[in-house]
Structure 1
Amino acid sequence: MALALFKKSEIAPLPDIEAASLRSDRFRLEREADWRRLEAIVISLETNRLRRISDEDLLALPVLYRQAASSLAVARETSLDAATLAYLEALVRRAWFQVYGPRTSLFGWLRLFLGGGWSIAVRSIWLEIAIALAVMVAGTAAGWVLVSQEPEWYYALVPGEMAGGREPGADRAALAETLKGTGDSEGLTAFATFLFSNNSAVSILAFALGFAFGIPTLLLLVYNMASLGAMLWVFFKAGLGWEFVAWLSVHGTTEFGAILLAGAAGLHVGRSMAFPGDRSVMSAAADSGRRAAQVMAGVVFMLAIAGLLEGFARQLVEQPGARGAIGSVMLLLWLTYFTFAGRRTGRLGAAS
């Protein structure tokens, strides 16, 4: 009798084991196609074969990852077979690393950022760049017109420390003297540091004010460019227009480009908050903020270059033709970079 009971208890669990096995097989077969698709995408990303990933697979990557993570949770709760559980754990871990994890070193990130990530972000806010550029041109024209009609406006638009002897009524020779370089590099390091800090503050403020729906950013751009327009009028009035433009272009094509991008990034955030569409304001601000932050990371890089050009190249190079050439080359480099860099990887950047 005891032996019979023992044998019965040994045999009874077999149907439960078979049922669990069938349940595990059914669970795997229903989802295995998506797991294999996710695994193929992950392998392509791990081996840096991005061109083999289709647009559909790239867009589906986050969804497939979440589905695999959900399958893993179910597998753990229902005690599915160990092989399926181990496979899912490895797949989810690898997919998480590709979707959320840091995949490159600092130098690798810089290579990707400067190799196209930054230019893609800049091209994505082209509308705000066009608006900011129009406002900056209008501000320059307004400064010129105001000072040409009433020279006293100059002192309201141009701070005293920025004027440096460049003011209405100044002698032509005195104005020309302010455009001369120092002829050596002594003390220029501190000067470059000061200029970089000042220009960075203006750019960061233009970006930060975008959170007030972009209106203060526009006003700041108008005011800053009005001071430029006022100074342009002074030098053109004295017959030194070309000399001043060449003097300014050494660093100006980079510096004003950085301020333009910073203002556009602020406008991008402000416009998304003012017109969020179907999204909530916070969601729209978060999406645009990530894109704008990428632009601003590049703005800091531009300002560093502008500070070096203003503190060194402009002081050491005195010929207007040479100064104009430096400014023109820098402008051409920036336009070429923002137009063409990252075109091949734009698909990946847009999807991420």
Structure 2
Amino acid sequence: MNDRVIKSYRFREERETDWHRLDHIIKKAEARGSAGLSDEDMAALPGLYRQAVSSLSVARSISLDQNVIAYLESLTARAYFFVYGSRTRMGERIVQFFRTDWPAAVSGAWRPTLLAFVCLFGPALLAFILTLNDSEWFWTFHSGWESRNPNATYAELRDTLYTEDTDIIDLLSAFAADLFSHNSRIAIFAFALGFAFGIPTAVLLAYNGVYLGSFYAVFWAKGLGYELTGWLFIHGVTELFAVILAGAAGFMIGGAAAFPGRHSRLEALRLRGEKAGNVIAGAVVMLFIAALIEAFGRQLINNDVVRYAFAGTSLILWLTYFYLPRRQPGDRA
């Protein structure tokens, strides 16, 4: 019994300094996050963790004091998450998502984004040309009754692009919520359907494209193309960009399923899915912003020049945010 006590005392005396240092680093990280650790602490953390794990293994094998074993088990469990996992606070994680994760995922997915752009605007252009040359095509692309159709007059169509009633804030709030719900469903469907090699995603984008193109042709034929463009793109830059990104996320999943490369199909889906998840999560945020702009900005701003300025500014901001090269963490100045 005495030998065991002496052995436990010596074992602890030889290693306790490193345990206390590890404990001190973990407490700082728990209080202030990993950003609160110095470079010296970050460099020492993996080695101290491995030493603590080794000490725990030895302590268990020679049946040392149970208090020592319990202390080491707790210490190594706490340290594990900082060595191998992410223990950033929710606020830090959100900031990281918007600062690096989302734009990096979008800029890295430029090929599926370009494909989604073509799948949306290619059919839109085709439907525009067909409807402009024969208005009967409009009814092929639009099921049910649509008041803004080829039979509407110039005045009727123009009245839908402007509003003089500004006492509609409550109505617009409900309208924004409905728009966000509708558009986010389309985006999530475009993403979720990507598992079938991206084919349903392409079909969904094309369907929305022909709807948009034929709708645009009705106004263009009546000489309202300029007015409609401002009315549409004040929110459409953000909304259509989000739909394109959702389609790109679906194509990322479909590409992984169809062409896993050197990885297994499941491994390829896991790797691509993580980046695609960042893309679709950000796209939903964009749709929320677009719904607010559509419900408030588009309805309350009746000046065409302001609408065009707003649309152009939003396009520049999104392109800069996603594609302007930026320094990554760890890059040297």
User: Match of 2:163?
Assistant: 181
Q: Are 1:75 and 2:62 counterparts?
A: no
The 2-side partners of 1:342 and 1:65 are apart by 34
RMSD after superposition? 3.7
Match of 2:235 in 1: 251
Query: Which residue, 216, 225, 243 being the options, matches 1:241?
Result: 225
Residue 308 of structure 2 is matched in structure 1 by 324
Structure 1 runs not aligned, ≥5 long: 1-9, 348-352
Q: For residues 232 and 280 of structure 1, do their structure 2 counterparts lie closer, same or farther at Cα, with a shift above 3 Å needed?
A: same
Q: Distance in 1 between matches of 2:181 and 2:309?
A: 26
CA distance in 2, matches of 1:172, 1:264: 37
Q: 1:290 aligns with which of 267, 274, 283?
A: 274
1:110 aligns with 2:91: no
Quickly say closer, same or farther: Cα 1:49–1:123, change in 2 above 3 A: farther
Tell me the SS of whatever aligns to 1:345. Answer: coil
Partners of 2:130 and 2:151 lie apart in 1 by 16
| Paired residues of 2:26 and 2:79 also in contact (CA < 8 A) | no
8 Å contact kept, 1:137–1:225: yes
Query: Aligned partners of 2:287, 2:110: CA distance in 1, in Å?
Result: 20
Question: Per the alignment, in what secondary structure is the counterpart of residue 318 of structure 1?
Answer: coil
Q: Compute the displacement of 1:223 (Å).
A: 1.1
1:241 maps to a residue whose letter is G
Task: Encode CA deviations 1:83-123: one digit per residue, 9 max, x unaligned.
Answer: x9767963563242353244213x33222222222111212
Compute the displacement of 1:191 (Å). 1.3
Identity %: 35
2:76 is the counterpart of 1:94: no
The SS at the match of 2:35 is coil
- CA-CA distance at 1:252 after TM superposition: 0.1
* Map of 1:197 onto structure 2: 181
Name the CA distance, whole Å, in 1 between partners of 2:138 and 2:330: 45
Write the distance in 1 (CA, Å) between the matches of 2:276 and 2:157: 39
| Alpha carbons of structure 1 residues 72 and 171: separation in structure 2 relative to 1, 3 Å | farther
**Aligned residues between the structures:** 313
* Equivalent residue number for residue 105 of structure 2: 121
CA contact (8 A) 1:251 1:310 kept: yes
- Aligned residue among 290, 294, 312 for 2:296: 312
Larger radius of gyration: 1
- 1:168 is the counterpart of 2:150: yes
Matched residue type, 2:79: R
Query: Structure 2-normalised TM-score?
Result: 0.79
The 1:229–1:52 alpha-carbon spacing in structure 2 relative to 1, beyond 3 Å, is: farther
Does residue 48 (structure 1) correspond to residue 31 (structure 2)? The answer is: no
Q: Do the aligned residues in 1 keep the contact of 2:190 with 2:246 (CA within 8 Å)?
A: yes
1:47, CA displacement in angstroms? 4.9
The counterpart of 1:221, out of the listed 193, 202, 205, is 205
Alpha carbons 1:193, 1:307 under 8 Å: kept: yes
* Cα pair 2:124 2:211 within 8 Å, conserved: yes
Q: Check 1:51–1:199 CA distance in 2 against 1; reply closer, same or farther (3 A cut).
A: farther
| 1:294 to 1:137, Cα distance in 2 relative to 1, 3 A | same
